[in-house]
Amino acid sequence: MRLDRNKLEELSRRYDRLLEEMADPAILSDAEKIKELSLERARLEEVVLAYRAYLQLLQEKDTLEQMRREAADEEEEEWLREEARQLEDQLSRIERDILRALLPRDERDEKNVILEIRAAAGGEEAALFAADLLRMYIRYAERHRWKTDILSSHPTERGGYKEVIVQIQGRGAYSRLKFESGVHRVQRVPETEAQGRIHTSTATVAVLPEADEVDAEIDPDDLEIETYRSSGAGGQHVNKTESAVRILHKPTGLVVTCQDERSQHKNKERALKILRSRLYELRLREKQEKEAEERRSLIQSGERSEKIRTYNFPQNRVTDHRINLTLYRLDAILDGDLDELIDALLQAYETEQLAQAR
């Protein structure tokens, strides 16, 4: 795909108008308007500045061509030819940067995250692995200075989780974590394994963009709400009052339960937050499936049924199967050092988008 110069000129003019508006004293006094204009300016700045650098390079290219035609001797002509080759490389790189900046933005990228982790195959070992994944994502959030809050959990007696749902709040959280959805597989020797045999267990991860009320409106008549006594691992009652909440969304059949708070009101509030995010994601997926005719990539789809990654303890190895990337530093990754993996996934997705746009 070649650059659309008309579109880029239009964006460049719009960028200049934004700068003028933001310098207007009447607008400077309007905090909401300034915020709106600042966000638009930030979205345009990368592509506009890259485009202007591109135009400057084109002028330099024309100058070099003129100089080469007027070269005094072969030595000067060869030097100018080499300069022109280097300039072509720069033009190719900046053209790619512009195309990348023009790729469609995921409207969910700046949202907070509702992260759901569930033990799958492997019994108690799967529950312990779910706890490892929870710690990994919390440590990753800490590295990015994001705030985490466990909304709902179903712990086991040995410190694992049948299910745990955590809210992650921070700028760009969804953009960094959205490719983590799928089946995560662990290969290791469980503590209870006397023969030293390696077992394989799995846990599923679902990454949902946290939905605002405007993103997913819920009709109260569509809800069936029950309360019951909360209980901990092994069935021990944590609360003698009916503070736990179960919400059924009748049109979709989605069910959410929350029992971690002692207050029924807080549990209901958290359950609605989870339900709202699930509905938002469900509706977005339905919309994408109707609109998208081209094949969706494995990275993009993030289906929970897809085996996306293997964590092999004996070899200190992590393999992401979607991009065939293997790293031999499992210990660091489980401690939240996920950026190399996530950056590789983002680059692969971007490369695919660019290929489809051409």
Q: Give the pLDDT of residue 127.
A: 94
Q: Give the pLDDT of residue 145.
A: 95
3-class SS at 306?
A: coil
Q: Which residues pair with 201 in a beta bridge?
A: 186
Mean of per-residue pLDDT scores for the chain: 85
- Whether the model clears a pTM of 0.85, i.e. scores above it, the answer is no
Q: Give the pLDDT of residue 357.
A: 60
pLDDT in tens, 190-233: 876 767 788 999 999 999 888 776 566 788 888 888 888 776 65
pLDDT in tens, 148-197: 999 888 999 889 999 999 999 998 899 999 999 999 999 998 876 767 78
Q: Where are the beta strands (DSSP E) in the chain?
A: 113-119, 147-155, 161-169, 182-188, 199-209, 223-228, 244-249, 254-258, 307-312, 317-320, 325-327
Q: What length is written for the chain?
A: 358
Please give the average pLDDT of every successive group of 10 residues along the chain, which has 358 residues: 81 92 87 87 89 92 87 85 90 85 75 91 92 97 95 90 93 91 92 80 91 73 83 53 84 87 84 86 72 45 68 96 95 96 90 70
Contacts of 165 (CB under 8 A, 6+ apart): 114, 115, 116, 117, 150, 151, 152, 153, 274
HEC per residue, 109-149: CCCCEEEEEEECCCHHHHHHHHHHHHHHHHHHHHHCCCEEE
The C-alpha atoms of residue 350 and residue 353 are separated, in whole angstroms, by 5
